[in-house]
Structure 1
Amino acid sequence: MEQLLQQIEQVKQEINTFEGYNGEAAETFRIKYLGTKGIIKGLMGGMKDVPNDQKREFGQVMNALKQLAEEKWEALKLAGGDGAAAGGSTIDWSLPGTQQQVGSRHPISIVRNEIISIYHRLGFAIAEGPEVEDDWHNFTALNLPENHPARDMQDTFYINQNPDWLLRTHTSSVQARTMETQKPPIRIICPGRVYRNETISARAHCFFHQVEGLYVDENVSFADLKQTLYFFVQEMFGKEVKVRFRPSYFPFTEPSAEMDISCTVCGGAGCSLCKHTGWVEILGCGMVHPKMLDNFGIDSNKYTGFAFGMGMERICQLKYVVNDLRLYSQNDVRFLQQFTSSV
């Protein structure tokens, strides 16, 4: 037993002093110490000569030796390139390390977070809802009854009919669900993905992202709406950007308007992005239709409100001059890496 322990101690010293920096050295070590005919296997064979009352102690010593050898082998493999084939080149430790790639947020996520931050400063909370909606929340409750002509612009992907379930066409459905469960004052923005039956091109896609806003309280006026949107535009695009409102139509607001800003690419001089008009439409807005308030048991004689909605892709296009909507969903690393500095 004493002689075996001396041999084990000598093998430990050999293992600790063994050096090698390639796959060949690691393989040599494995064969010599851990192979089927290796030193450790041979020492284990001496178990038969150990007295019975010492076999347990000897077994513990051998297990420790084997563990030491395995740890040394793993270190040698790592130094040699994880067990590279014999004859592989050694590592040049003087070379600089490999630079790690830094990821980035998606441009839509960057814009979404910035929009949320701006409206958060105005006291707007975030509200979210399901992407698969029923007809009531997506259309009827928003003053879009069946066979209403405005529905033609929002025919989308139906999951089921009778009853109708569909992929939501706008995040206005989240406004509907909020008014269903909350009473004024209500001040929310609703970011999320929406779907339309559109031909995919550089200017349109079958899905995109919206941020809609809703404010319902006593004595809310169109002036409140305009000042809210003025603040948003100046925070997002800068103080020098001009704003204009044009009369429009939406079933769930009255009066309604489209809001344009001076083109951020050409500065209002005229370019292909603004179709040489100097103006770019960024959102629709208006005062909440009284019928929509009544649909959710909110007294339209006491409360008024405003709503607005914008496409995140359009905001992103103006902020980063992206000329093709398809780039947002193609996962092209060359495109996404341009936004690394925006993390």
Structure 2
Amino acid sequence: MDQAFRKLEASARQTLASINDRAGLESWRQRWLGRKGELTKLLNQLSRLPASERPRLGQLANGIKNHLHDLASQRAQGLNRPMERVASLSATLPGRRPRSGHLHPLTLITRRLVEIFRSMGFETVTGPEVESAELNFDQLNIPPDHPARDLWDTFYIKSAKPLVLRTHTSPVQLRALQTRRPPVRLIAPGRVFRHEATDASHEATLTQLEGLVIDEDVRLTDLFGTVNDFLSALFERPITTKHRPSFFPFVEPGGEIVMGCTICGGRGCSVCGLTGFLEMGGQGMVHPTVLKNMGLDSRKYSGFAFGFGIERLMMLYYRIPDIRLTLSGDLRFSQQF
């Protein structure tokens, strides 16, 4: 009989541990401790035992009953705690307002650039960030032995077909010319990727805006005027620009866009290296080979192209000292603009 009482106690404790609500706890009480419960049934069997055994077993049964009652009370308190926590909350207290997001300065400046070029008659086009090596390099007159194609400068994708993370947005213009014929005025803003070290003025991921104009009788002076008008509109003041000759495989002649420093007004400061001018991007007349790759007759059509690093324009426009802040993900940074 002792073993029967111990077995009942163990079974009752095991089922109590799985109770998760008050209804289940009440059912447990009825099953094990109720007037017709398992413990009562076992107590009714004591009358069949010798009189000498009844007091000891009765005392054992009462101890088990009291112990199970205590366990049930503890379980009930555990089930009540979540309700007590909810009851302690006051619905009259003011809630916490969610933090509002804010447009990133890179988004703001990109929208402004697109709007300026739209007012100048340019169409905005976009394309994939994972690009074929043919469009990223070959079609743009960048030969296989060019340094830009080196693994130290370009991120290559493992695939059956040579793919890269685009190093510029020029391939977007090639794609656009597959469905358009001159005259065209295009801009292609978007992310590009360079395998280079990160510092205050360089990032492996950056944003670029490239422009392309193709028509009959397009001249170098048209390029200079377009770039000068764009920068003057962006900074809302007359801007002095220079063309510094340089080499880019997809333009001929090619050069760098050099702008009068907007920080010191051309007098010379630490930002411009005391020169009074800042390098802003590249420009030039579209190379005849590139026109041919676009399916155009270079004897009939000519064009110019230019490219700006949007982060550089953003840093000058908002006077941001470190390019790494743009990818920090810190809302305190974005909320300043």
Give the TM-score taking structure 2 as reference length.
0.71
Matched residue, 1:185: 183
Aligned-pair CA distance for 1:201: 1.2
Say whether the 8 Å CA contact 1:199–1:206 is kept in structure 2: yes
Match of 1:278 among 276, 279, 298: 276
Deviations 1:306-328 (A, max 9, x none): 00001110000100111111111
Report the AA paired with residue 85 of structure 2.
A
Query: SS state of the match for residue 177, structure 2?
Result: helix
Unaligned runs of 5+ in 1: 1-30, 38-81
2:121 is the alignment partner of 1:123: yes
Say whether the 8 Å CA contact 2:169–2:209 is kept in structure 1: yes
Counterpart mapping for 1:1-343 below 5 A: 85=85, 88=88, 90=90, 101-152=99-150, 155-160=153-158, 163-339=161-337
Give, in whole Å, the separation in 1 of the partners of 2:109 and 2:328: 18
Aligned-pair CA distance for 1:136: 0.9
Deviates more, 1:244-253 or 1:207-216: 244-253
Report the AA paired with residue 242 of structure 2.
R
Distance 1:234 1:154, change over 3 A: farther
Distance 1:87 1:201, change over 3 A: same
Aligned-pair CA distance for 1:90: 4.8
Query: SS state of the match for residue 250, structure 1?
Result: coil
Say whether the 8 Å CA contact 2:244–2:257 is kept in structure 1: yes
Deviations 1:168-211 (A, max 9, x none): 00001111112233221121100100000101111111110000
Say whether the 8 Å CA contact 2:148–2:154 is kept in structure 1: no
Query: SS state of the match for residue 336, structure 2?
Result: helix
Deviations 1:70-90 (A, max 9, x none): xxxxxxxxxxxx977377475
Give, in whole Å, the separation in 2 of the partners of 1:150 and 1:329: 25
Deviations 1:199-225 (A, max 9, x none): 111111111000000011111111111
Distance 1:102 1:248, change over 3 A: same
Deviations 1:281-320 (A, max 9, x none): 1111011001111112101000000000011100001001
Distance 1:153 1:227, change over 3 A: farther
Distance 1:86 1:235, change over 3 A: closer
Query: SS state of the match for residue 85, structure 1?
Result: helix
Give the TM-score taking structure 1 as reference length.
0.70
Aligned-pair CA distance for 1:163: 3.3
Deviations 1:3-59 (A, max 9, x none): xxxxxxxxxxxxxxxxxxxxxxxxxxxx9xxxx99xxxxxxxxxxxxxxxxxxxxxx
Give, in whole Å, the separation in 1 of the partners of 2:91 and 2:103: 35
Say whether the 8 Å CA contact 2:283–2:306 is kept in structure 1: yes
Query: SS state of the match for residue 338, structure 1?
Result: coil
Say whether the 8 Å CA contact 2:261–2:277 is kept in structure 1: yes
Say whether the 8 Å CA contact 2:153–2:196 is kept in structure 1: no
Say whether the 8 Å CA contact 1:154–1:169 is kept in structure 2: no
Kindly name which structure, 1 or 2, has the bigger radius of gyration based on alpha carbons. Answer: 2
Say whether the 8 Å CA contact 2:133–2:163 is kept in structure 1: yes
Deviates more, 1:156-165 or 1:191-200: 156-165
Say whether the 8 Å CA contact 2:209–2:309 is kept in structure 1: yes
Give, in whole Å, the separation in 2 of the partners of 1:102 and 1:251: 46
Percent of aligned positions that are identical = 44
Give, in whole Å, the separation in 2 of the partners of 1:213 and 1:87: 63
Unaligned runs of 5+ in 2: 1-21, 27-81
Aligned residues: 261
Report the AA paired with residue 115 of structure 1.
L
Distance 1:250 1:85, change over 3 A: same
Give, in whole Å, the separation in 1 of the partners of 2:166 and 2:328: 22
Matched residue, 2:8: none
Distance 1:88 1:321, change over 3 A: same
Query: SS state of the match for residue 191, structure 2?
Result: strand
Say whether the 8 Å CA contact 1:150–1:251 is kept in structure 2: no
Query: SS state of the match for residue 291, structure 1?
Result: helix
